[in-house]
Amino acid sequence: MPQMYLPPLSTKQTLRQLLTGAEPSPEKLRGPLTRVLQILPKPTFVSGAIKARHLPELVAAVHYYQANVSNNMPEVLMNDCNVGSVALLRACSNLLVTSNKSPISGQISSYMTDIYLRPQGFVAATEFVLQPQENGEVSLKQFELLARLIAAKPSSMEVSRYLQYILPQIMIALDDKSEAGSIRKRAAPFVVREIIKQFGAPAQTMLIDMVAQPMMIGDMKVPSEVLDPALERLCILTQDFQVTQVVLADVALGAFVFGYSAHRQGLHATRDLCERLVIRFVRCREADLLMELWQQSTTRSELPVLTKRGEVTPVQPIEVCQYFLRIAELVRSEKQLLVMFYEKLVQWDAPAIAALQNMKLLIELPTVYAKVFHESTERLVRLVRGLDDRPDQGLYVSLTLIKITIESPSLDKHLTIMDIDEVNAKLGVIRHSSHRLGESGQQVSQLAQALVQQLSLIKMRREVATTSAKATNTVSTSTSNTMKLAQNKYREALKDITDEVISNRAHGLYLLSELCKQAREPRASKEVRDVVEAKRMVDAVITLLGDEEDFVSMNAIKTLTQLVLTYAEAADHALGEVNEAAKYTDSVRVSINKALQAASKETIDISLKSKIGMLSRA
C-alpha cells in the first residue's frame, strides 16, 4: 500500500506548536497548513494509508481552521478545510474499523468524537460507517463506532435525515442469518438504545413503524414469512431493558392476540416468539401491563383470530381467557408481580368477572397463581377488610383468594387468634347477607361457610400451640427440678398421644418432640435422657403415622425424626420397622422412611447416616 505524502519538517513543527497551545500568526500557518489540507482528500489518505502517529498533527490542522471559520478565512481555505474534515473522518473511520490494537482504536475514537461535533462531518461519517466492507458486510466495529457517533450527535442535526441512514441498516442487520450476522444482532439493541436516548419520541415512532408494524392489531391475515421476522427483530431489540420500556403497549397486545391465533393454528414457532415478547413486556411493565392484557382480552366485543384454515373468525373474549392462563403459568416465577395482579383483580368491576364465574374459571385462575402465592397474615387481613368495597361480582374472587391464603402452609406461624376472630366475623356477615346477590349468592355463602370452618380449625391449632408453648416455657433448667418436670411432661405426652381428641394427640406429639430436643442439649443429664422409653414411643408414633387427620400424621413424622436423632435404639427400631411389609401399610412405611431421611440430613452422626444410607440403597 503506498504511503501518503507527509509535509516537510517545518510544517510538522508548526503543527506541534498548535498541539502545545501556541498559536503562530496566520501568515506563518497559511502556507504549511494549506499544504496539509490539500493532501487530506488524496486517495491514499482516504483509503486508510496513514499512520496513527500522524493523526494529532492532521487533527490539529483541521481543528484550527474550523475554529477560525468566522474570522474572515479566505474562501479557498474554507473549502479545503471542509473537504479535509470529511476526508479525515473517513480516514479515521477506516483506521478504527481495520485496527486490531485497542489502544490505537481508543486514540482514534477520541479524535473522531471531536470532529463529529461538526454537522457536516457528522453526516459524512454516518454515511461512511454504514457502508458495507469489501465482503458486503457491516462489521461489529462499525456498529460500535455508530453508537459512539450517535452519543455525540450535534444539536443542529436533522432527526429524520439522520434516522433514514441508520434504521434501515439496523433492519438489515437484524434479518441477517449468517454467522457474522449474529454478532451484529447483539450490537443492534445498544445502537437502538442510543438512538432513542438521543432522538426521543421521533426515533421511537419510526422504530415501531419499521419493526413492529405487523404486530399492531388490524388485519390478522399476516403471513408467517412477514410476521416471524418482525417477531424475531423485536425479541432481539427488547433484550435491552431501556428499549423494552419504550415499546408501546399495543405491541404487547398484538403479540398476545397473534400468539393466541398461532396457538390455535398449531404454529408453535410463531406462538413461542409471541409469548417471549409478552412475558418480556409484562416483566418490564409489571402488573400494569398484565392487568391491561387481561382487561383487553376479556372485555373486547370480539377478537379477530385466524383458524387453521386461514380464515378470520370472531372469537368470544372468554375463550381468550384460557390462553391467558397459559401466559400466567409462564410468568409464575414473578411472585411479586402476581401478588400485585391479584390485588388489582379483586378490585376489578368488569363484565368478564361474571363471564369467568359462569365458565368456572375463577377457581382455575387462582390455582395457577397459588403455586407461587406465599401470603402473609397482613395480606389476609387486608383482603378481608376490603370486602366491603368489593362489587358483588368480585366477592367470589376475593373469597377464593382468602381461601388460598388460609391454605398457605406458613400461615399458622403468624396468624393470631384476634386475626382469626376478625376474619370469621366478617365472613359471618357476608354469609348471612349473601341472599341479596341473587344466583351467585349461594356460591358465596357456601364458600364463606367453608372458610369459617377452616379458620376455626386453625384457631384450635393456635390454641393448642399456645398451651404447649406455655407448658414448654415452664420447664426449669435447674438441676433439681429438670428431671421431675421431664417426667411430668412425658406422662402428659403418653396420655395425650392415645387420646381420641385430635388436638390432644397433636399436643402429645409436640411435647414428645420437645423432650427429645431437650435431651440433646449439651447440659442435659443422663436422667433426663432416660425418661423417654425410646422403643415404646417409636411404636406409638408409628401408629399415628396412619392417622386419618393429616395434621396429626404430619406431626408424627416430625416427632419420629426427633426420636431417631436423639436415641440410637429408636433409630435401630425404626430401621427395622420400615421393612415390615406385613405389619404396616405402604403409606405408613413411606412415612417412616421420610422421617429417617429427614434425620439423615440433620444429623452429624456418621454411623446413623451410614445405616439410613444403606436402607436407601436397598
**Where are the chain's structural domains?**
212-334, 478-617
Cα 596 from chain centre: 38
Tell me which residue of 555, 560, 563 sits closest to 519, measured CA to CA: 563
Q: What is the pLDDT of residue 617?
A: 54
DSSP assignment of 572-590 equals: HHHHHHTT-TTTS-HHHHH
> What pLDDT sits at residue 180?
55
Question: Alpha-carbon dihedral of residues 413, 415, 417, 421, nearest 10 degrees?
Answer: -150
C-alpha angle with apex 455: 449 to 459, nearest 5 degrees? 145
Q: Write out residues in the chain with pLDDT < 70, as ranges.
A: 1-169, 172-191, 193-194, 198-202, 204-205, 208-227, 233, 235-250, 253, 282-398, 400-416, 418-419, 433-440, 465-466, 468-482, 500-503, 525, 528, 581-582, 615-618
Q: Bridge partners of 557?
A: none
pTM higher than the cut 0.85: no
Cα–Cα dist 443/459, whole Å: 24
CA atoms within 13 A of residue 283's CA, in its CB half-sphere: 18
Which residues are within 8 A (CB) of 454 and not within 5 positions of it... i.e. 6 or more apart? Answer: 403, 406, 407
H-helix or E-strand containing 372?
none
Whole-number pLDDT of residue 568: 79
How many CB atoms are located within 10 Å of the residue 586 CB?
A: 8
Handedness of CA 204, 210, 211, 216 (dihedral sign): positive
User: Exposed e or buried b for every residue in 457-468, given b needs 16+ CB within 10 A?
Assistant: ebbbbbebbeeb
H-run or E-run covering 314? strand 312-315
DSSP summary character for residue 286: T
Which residues are CB-neighbours of 452 under 8 A, at least 6 positions away?
424, 427, 428, 431
Q: How many CB atoms lie within 10 A of CB 171?
A: 16
Largest CA distance in the chain: 115
Helix locations, 212-248, DSSP H: 224-237, 241-246
Residue 375 cell numbers, joined: 401470603
**Grid coordinates given for 187:** 450490537
Query: According to the model, what pLDDT value does residue 6 have?
Result: 38
HSE of 434 in the Cβ direction (CA atoms, 13 Å)? 21
Give the three cell numbers for residue 490: 412425658
**CB-side neighbour CA atoms (13 Å) of 237:** 29
Give dist(CA 488, CA 206) in Å, integer. Answer: 82
* Spatial contact of 230 and 194, defined as CB atoms under 8 Å apart: no
SS3 267: coil
Q: What's the rounded Cα separation, in Å, for the pair 315 and 185?
A: 37
Distance CA 302, CA 280 (A): 25
pLDDT of residue 476: 46
Which residues, 6 or more positions from 89, have their beta carbon under 8 angstroms from its beta carbon? 112, 115, 116, 121, 124, 125, 128
Distance CA 44, CA 500 (A): 102
The answer to whether 333 and 372 have CB atoms below 8 angstroms apart is: yes
- Which residue matches cell numbers 364458600? 447
Beta bridge partners of 314: 304
Beta bridge partners of 303: 315
Q: Are 353 and 382 a contacting pair, CB within 8 Å?
A: no
Q: Which of 571, 565, 463 is nearest to 518 (CA)?
A: 565
Q: Are 570 and 538 in contact (CB under 8 A)?
A: yes
* CA torsion through residues 93, 95, 97, 103, sign: negative
User: How much is the pLDDT for 513?
Assistant: 85
Which pLDDT score is estimated for 597?
Answer: 84
425-458 pLDDT per residue, tens? 777 777 776 666 666 677 777 777 777 777 777 7
Q: Which helix (H) or strand (E) holds 69?
A: none
Burial class (CB in 10 A: 0-12, 13-18, 19+), 8: exposed
Q: What totals of helices (H) and strands (E) does the chain contain, helices first?
A: 32, 2
Cβ 533 vs Cβ 553: under 8 Å:
no
Domain range 478-617, CATH class: mainly alpha
